[in-house]
Chain A
Amino acid sequence: MNVYAKEFNASACRYTADLRHRDLIQKALAGYYAKRDEFKGRFQSWSGARDLAAEVKWEAVNHLDRYLDEFVSRLEARGAKVFWAPGAQEAQDYIVGVARQHKVRAIIKSKGMTAEEIHLNEALEKEGFEVAESDLGEYIVQLRKEPPYHLVFPAMHLTRQQISDLFHDKLNSEPTNNPEDLTMIARRIMRRKYCEADMGISGANFAIAETGMISITENEGNARLTTSLPKVHVALVGIEKVLPKLSDLALFLPMLATAGAGQSITCYNTLYGGPRQPGEPDGPEEFHVVLLDNHRTELLADAEQRDALHCIRCGACLNVCPIFKNVGGHSYGTTYQGPIGSVITPHLRGLQDWKHLSQASSLCGACTETCPVKINLHHHLLHNRRNAVRARPAFLEKLVQSGFVLLMRRPAFYQFAARVGRIAQPLQRLIRGTFFDPLRAWTKTRSFPPLAKKSFRELWRERKTP
């Protein structure tokens, strides 16, 4: 077992035994389920919307070359600078370079999972730049020096009390359990940081090819300030974010809000198309778009799992995943948690290192059922398992599987094994759940049903010959 799998198991053991955590996440999601269903109901047909969204993303992803070119040429025509980053390192280097060139002192940043993916904050801080997260949830986890717990709700694992304690500890604020007061504490600090920052970094929810604009959807207004007050705006955008037409947003904005947060539409939806144009009163002097590949084109080359690039990072699959709800977001050890993370992390960071996430699933399919863009998530977990075995079968497991096949090809062996089981079961009771119990992985926490005295086959024979 590799180090990532060991860490996952250890963390999963801790979280699954933590009933307070289980309860907290269940309660946090109960409100989401109710609102999500309410707003799904406002679509003329949610399933029709999913079909359409999947088609639009299919079109975009399968003609990425064309749409990206269109997106870039229109952006550049308005004076934006576009950088094609093959990997995380190149993207980091470029953004650090822009910061240096402008002699930036302070950087403000709005929420973006792509930045988490390339560990942008660490790279900038290493070069001496101060980076402040402006999304409230991100700000909280930044203060705690931990990664986001959930790709949409970074601080969903924390109670108000914990946040109050954190603010008291780090910001010297008065303890309070009132969410509005807590928000005001962060807001006062944030307002100052917007004015001090000379560079703003954002992500993008969508990249519109037709108009050469990025679309950012948010609830706090922090992205608008992050992108418009500082003199330089850098947007880090995964290449799969592209949508062909502006009108596609009419579908995708409400869909993202509904699936992602249980809202009809988020509070702020803004399009950004370049730096301040002549005659415009505000906006950044420079506008950079960093288009990030970072192994996405390898996923694009995999026809079987290409639809994983449809993902709009709504997090709906995490919210319904019984694995996520029990092991928690931090157990994954990945940028993208939950089912989508288990599917794509092996592509982004190596199959052998991350195959355990595809195995840590009961394949219940709740993720696939909920995905607004119809990614075949749980079947891709099966595909990852198959690909991992194909590339490097584990010796012992291979032996067990071959033994299983042998047993299943010879009914006599199979019947013999069942008979042995029936004789051995009463003896197993003596060692149940102990180190010597071959079934301890099961029996430590669950009882094993007594095997039937007679097999179906025996009953069937008795019935045929009365």
Chain B
Amino acid sequence: MSIVQVLERLGHTVDYPEAQTCCGQPPFNSGYWDEARTVAERQMAIFRYAETVVIASGSCGAMVKVFYPELFHGHPREAEAKALAAKTFEFSDFLVNQLGVLDVGARFRGRATFHDGCHSLRELGSKKPPRQLLQHVQGLELVEMKEAETCCGFGGLFAVKFPMISTAMGEVKCASIADTGADYVISNDSSCLMQIRGVLDRQRKPVKTLHLAEVLAQT
């Protein structure tokens, strides 16, 4: 709901088509592209008439923006996939680069570090926007961790297919988070946050995980 609150506070009309489900990334990443296409076609139909689609996760955002065109390459619905990709934006990228907003009028007290989700960082090339937004939050102290750009180890089904590697990566990430002495770790990707929270909880570390929108919604 935080993302809706922020967008409405900025004067936008938000709709949530209730028929939507998943973007299709799980089968796509597993190599089941036909199955992924079936799921993707459904979302393409649902969002056909939307002016702009804003996604709260860099990972799902990358799926629609980067991988839909590849998934439908040479397919009769390629143009439709590209059209949806063109009007789809990850939340922070949308605020900063489409709306030109840096200060959303948020207040939040605490020391926080930001985790770059790999899809957001490397597929969408969005390193600065979330930080620019956080720097304008009143009361928030943003500290960089050494391994900010290092993968948290989630990687979808990878996390359960190779739990030992995934957990080791999570431990490296969480050690770096703990080194900053931050109270919060913020990201624009819920799946990374689930992984980070899972490891932090198990290590009984007191750092809390928050989605970027949750911070920006606080006034």
Contacts and interface: CB of A to CB of B under 8 A. Distances in A.
Interface of A: 9, 12-13, 16-17, 22, 26, 322-323, 325-327, 359-366, 368-369, 379, 382, 385-390, 393, 397-398, 401-402, 404-405, 407-409, 411, 414, 441-442, 444-449, 456-457, 459-461, 463
A442 B30 contact: no
Given A398-B32, A441-B160, A362 B166 contact: yes
Contact of B202 (A9, A445, A456): A445
Contact of A368 (B18, B122, B154): B122
Given A16-B165, A327-B165, A362-B169, A389 B31 contact: yes
A463 B8 CA distance: 13
B155 A364 contact: yes
Contacts of B154: 362
B12 interface: no
A385 to B, nearest CB: 4
Q: A387, A398, A409: which has the most chain B beta carbons within 10 Å? A: A409
Closest 6 CB pairs of A and B: A362-B155, A446-B198, A385-B31, A364-B151, A389-B31, A365-B122
Contacts of B42: 408-409
A445 B169 CA distance: 12
Contacts of B70: 379
B141 interface: no
B150 A322 contact: yes
A326 B160 contact: no
Contact of B24 (A26, A325, A382, A408): A408
Given A360-B158, A362-B153, A404-B26, A409 B39 contact: yes
B149 A366 contact: yes
A285 to B, nearest CB: 51
Chain B residues touching A, range: 35 or more
A457 B198 contact: no
Nearest to A407: B21
B167 A446 contact: yes
B164 interface: yes
A401 B32 contact: yes
A362 B156 CA distance: 7
A459 B5 CA distance: 13
Contacts, number: 156
A447 B30 contact: no
B165 to A, nearest CB: 6
A189 to B, nearest CB: 38
A444 to B, nearest CB: 7
A403 B90 CA distance: 28
B38 interface: yes
Contacts of B33: 386, 389
B31 A386 contact: yes
Contacts of B153: 322, 362
B69 to A, nearest CB: 12
Q: A325, A365, A414, A457: which has the most chain B beta carbons within 10 Å? A: A365
Contacts of B160: 441-442
Contacts of B198: 442, 446-449
Contact of B169 (A326, A365, A390, A404): A326
Nearest to B190: A449
A414 B151 CA distance: 29
B22 interface: yes
A247 B166 CA distance: 44
A389 B34 CA distance: 10
Contacts of B18: 411, 457, 460-461
B195 interface: yes
B183 interface: no
Contact of B201 (A9, A390, A397, A447): A447
Q: A12, A322, A409: which has the most chain B beta carbons within 10 Å? A: A322
Given A401-B30, A404-B27, A408-B39, A359 B161 contact: yes
B58 to A, nearest CB: 12
A456 B211 CA distance: 15
A325 B199 CA distance: 19
B172 A22 contact: yes
Given A362-B156, A363-B118, A397-B30, 7 more contacts: A322-B150, A326-B172, A362-B151, A364-B155, A385-B30, A387-B31, A446-B167
Given A362-B118, A408-B22, A445-B202, A401 B163 contact: no
A167 B35 CA distance: 56
Contacts of A385: 29-31
B96 interface: no
A365 B167 CA distance: 18
Contact of A445 (B22, B122, B123, B167): B167
A398 B33 CA distance: 11
Contacts of A414: 21
A395 to B, nearest CB: 13
A402 B35 contact: yes
Given A322-B153, A362-B153, A401-B35, A408 B30 contact: no
